[in-house]
Amino acid sequence: MLSLLLLIILFVLYSQLVGQTAYFYFPEILGKIKYKWPIGFFIILGVIQLVSYPLQAMHVSMQVVGICYGFILLILSIFVFRYLYAAYCDKRLEIFKFEKAHLMDYLLILIFIGFNFIICFSTNSFNDTNADQSFYITLVENNVGAEQINGILPLSGEIRWLDSYYNFQAFYLFLTFLSMIFNLDAVLVMAWFVPVLLWLTVSMTFLNLIYYFNRSNKSWKTMFIFIILWSFVSLFDYFVRYNVYGNNIRLFVFAYLMMGYADYFKSPNLRTLILCGLLWASASSFQSTALFLGIMIMVAIGIYELFYHRKELILPLIFSAMPLLVYAAFFLSYRSTTLLGVIIGAAVFLLAILSCNQQTKSVLNRFFYSRFFRGILVLGVIGMTVLSMKMVPSLNEEVSISPRYFIEFLFDKYAPRRSYITEKNWSMLSLALIRDSLFLLYLVALVQFKKLNETLKFAFITQWIIILIFYNPLVSAFVSTYFTGSVYMRTGDIIMSLFLIAGLLVYFANYTKLRGVIIVIVCLAMIQLTAKTNQYLTHDFNQITNTQTFNHLYRMDQDIIDTASFIESYVAEHYNGERPKVLTTQLELNYFSHNYEMLYTVNEERRVFNDVYRQVKSDLYLLRDGLRKSYEQSEEQQRKFKQILEQLKPDIIVVPAIAAPWIHDLFNEVALKIDENSSYGVYQLIK
């Protein structure tokens, strides 16, 4: 407990120091950002990510990673101490200065963090093993002391390299490093350290966006817009349940990137681009989705420059996204498309060399800004649209997004359904009305487009470019098949982005005639948050069933922790480096798995209602139903259960104490009981 508190306090303080130091080196962009803590956090991750690319590609040992990360933190500390030494006394005091004028801000931050913490602490918020958290918690655990990082598949425990979608996410490698330094279980780090980082990032980013667009100190405006943003992002479950892996933090990194590029177009500055590069690296550290969305954003910004702004800034913009391009090169070279990754890496390197020469740079600019190149871009978009429409008749809708599905998705998201009223789902009804109200404000802003400031125009134009090229029913088939894959619909995160919505809300909060609409949206947001909270707290799935044995620190039942700890130590003692197969349907045990394989995994649990998949894996699902629904099994199913158990031969089986008598009789016959508590019995199969 003390080690966890120490980790949280030290890292929060260190990030604040790094953020304040960054302001010293990047005053042009960070002068408009009120709270520097998120910037410090992102800079740390950005540098970590850049150093991690080769380490992850080579799968070095965790010891080597630890040395490299320690060296990075040392270098950052040198910059911090240099700033503290050079700064005047009053500047040093500003780092942690409490200002009465911003009491409302502090109150909003405390309310946001306290609200989410209380719900997490008082509910069973860690038990949804079907979510991605099962993957990332186990990923962090598996890398502890690893001789080769990212060498175990988290969900199954098999010895195999991670796919490139997951191999280059340095944030989770950094969490492993911290858990080793502070001698903490990876589960503990994920259970509380990551949520604190998420809550701080979200609350401070909301305030930074508000102050970026609005220089007035009207507390009511700040409070109203904060509440609307809280509701609009529709991440309630990610704040209180799925808050342990933090990959949605990428959305908030994008907000700072948009601020950075908007300022760069007003006043081009090399330091701004350097900071944007670090932010791109930081976004990439959370999830590979940041690569696809990041490329879309940079394409939109590049076309904005080529077709609208036209101030010969295209080459600097390309170089600002260098970490993203490096990520793309490693990503592709790690897959079967190795040659393409090498070509991208070589092209970026060649472009950097050519741009160093002023004459060559001038030639490149003439080419990029020529009608010929812009014509190629237009023809490329037209060609992609034609190809996409040709793909539709033979499209595999399980992996690609058809125009029909795209339209249905948008309709479901924005259209208030009658079922919301009949089912009394006030949370979804109010959220749909909030989205519709914001869309109404969006249309009003379009009518007044010429009156908007350049920052809002930048947000609008880049949004239109992304919609035109990547996010419409005419291109969804092509883009989802060859570019984004199954995460295509996440493109919506950068369409109605935080940056754009915050700008709209501030604009209309200052616009007297439509200020009433903002008040209506605030009321809807409060209804939505209240209804969602009540819905969450009253749902049986979220209840703590046994308060006597529930461990609030680990956010799960103590019997699960004890069983997992026993299996880990038993395998280490009796299997001499071998990786036995463990059969359990209590998949929270997977959070602790390190030295064994899971026979029944989260992948199977996610497809439990897929009839086709159940036929393919019928044996596994029969074992699953036998352990989960033992009282419902017929005599024939009981006989098959025993036969399949003898065929698959799992080494260790975890049996719920509440299972039917025939289950206990069977395992007493074919296995040895090696551990038992009030919830589970652990058996070793006799072979």
The pLDDT score that the predictor gives to residue 88 is 58
The pLDDT score that the predictor gives to residue 513 is 77
**pLDDT beyond 90 at 454:** yes
With bands split at pLDDT 50, 70 and 90, how would you rate the model's confidence at 428?
confident
Question: Which of the listed residues 157, 188, 207 is the one where a domain comes to its end?
Answer: 207
Question: Which of the listed residues 176, 191, 207 is the one where a domain comes to its end?
Answer: 207
The pLDDT score that the predictor gives to residue 608 is 87
3-state secondary structure of 684: strand
CA 277/CA 294 separation, integer angstroms: 11
CA 208/CA 193 separation, integer angstroms: 22
The pLDDT score that the predictor gives to residue 94 is 65
Give mean pLDDT, residues 268-290.
92
CA 278/CA 282 separation, integer angstroms: 6
Residue pointed to by tokens 């609208």 = 308
pLDDT tens per residue, range 647-682: 999 999 999 999 999 999 999 999 999 999 999 999
Residue 12 belongs to some domain of the structure: yes
Torsion of CA 400, 401, 403, 406, to 10 degrees: 170
Q: Terminus-to-terminus CA distance in the chain, angstroms?
A: 42
> Which pTM does this prediction carry?
0.93
CA 287/CA 162 separation, integer angstroms: 13
Phi then psi dihedrals of residue 180, to 5 deg: -75, -40
pLDDT tens per residue, range 586-609: 988 888 878 999 999 998 988 888
pLDDT tens per residue, range 222-242: 999 999 999 988 888 888 888
- The string of DSSP codes covering 207-232 is HHHHHHH-----HHHHHHHHHHHHHH
- Give the residue among 315, 307, 308 at the shortest CA–CA distance from 362: 315
The number of distinct structural domains making up the chain is 2
Residue 512 belongs to some domain of the structure: no
Give mean pLDDT, residues 547-559.
90
CA 83/CA 71 separation, integer angstroms: 19
Residue 571 belongs to some domain of the structure: yes
Residue 494 belongs to some domain of the structure: no
**pLDDT beyond 80 at 373:** yes
Phi then psi dihedrals of residue 683, to 5 deg: -120, 150
The pLDDT score that the predictor gives to residue 335 is 65
- Give the residue among 449, 463, 454, 462 at the shortest CA–CA distance from 496: 463
CA 142/CA 403 separation, integer angstroms: 40
pLDDT tens per residue, range 29-81: 888 899 999 999 999 999 999 999 999 999 999 999 999 999 999 999 999 98
Which structural domain, as residue segments, surrounds residue 615? Answer: 556-685
Residue 280 belongs to some domain of the structure: no
Question: Is 108 or 427 the better-scoring residue by pLDDT?
Answer: 108
CA 142/CA 158 separation, integer angstroms: 11
Q: What angle do CA 209, 276, 34 make, to 5 degrees?
A: 30
**Which strand (E) or helix (H) includes residue 12?**
helix 2-25
**pLDDT beyond 90 at 12:** yes
CA 191/CA 29 separation, integer angstroms: 34
CA 597/CA 560 separation, integer angstroms: 17
Give mean pLDDT, residues 504-510.
91
What is the token pair recorded at 159?
A: 């010895």
Residue 150 belongs to some domain of the structure: yes
Q: What is the largest CA-CA distance in the chain?
A: 84
Question: Which of the listed residues 150, 182, 207 is the one where a domain comes to its end?
Answer: 207
pLDDT tens per residue, range 244-274: 888 889 999 999 999 999 999 999 998 999 9
Residue pointed to by tokens 């098949």 = 481
**pLDDT beyond 80 at 581:** yes
Residue 298 belongs to some domain of the structure: no
Classify residue 598 as exposed, middle or buried by CB count within 10 Å of its CB (0-12, 13-18, 19+): buried
CA 618/CA 337 separation, integer angstroms: 35
Phi then psi dihedrals of residue 218, to 5 deg: -75, 115
* pLDDT averaged over every residue in the chain: 89
Residue 173 belongs to some domain of the structure: yes
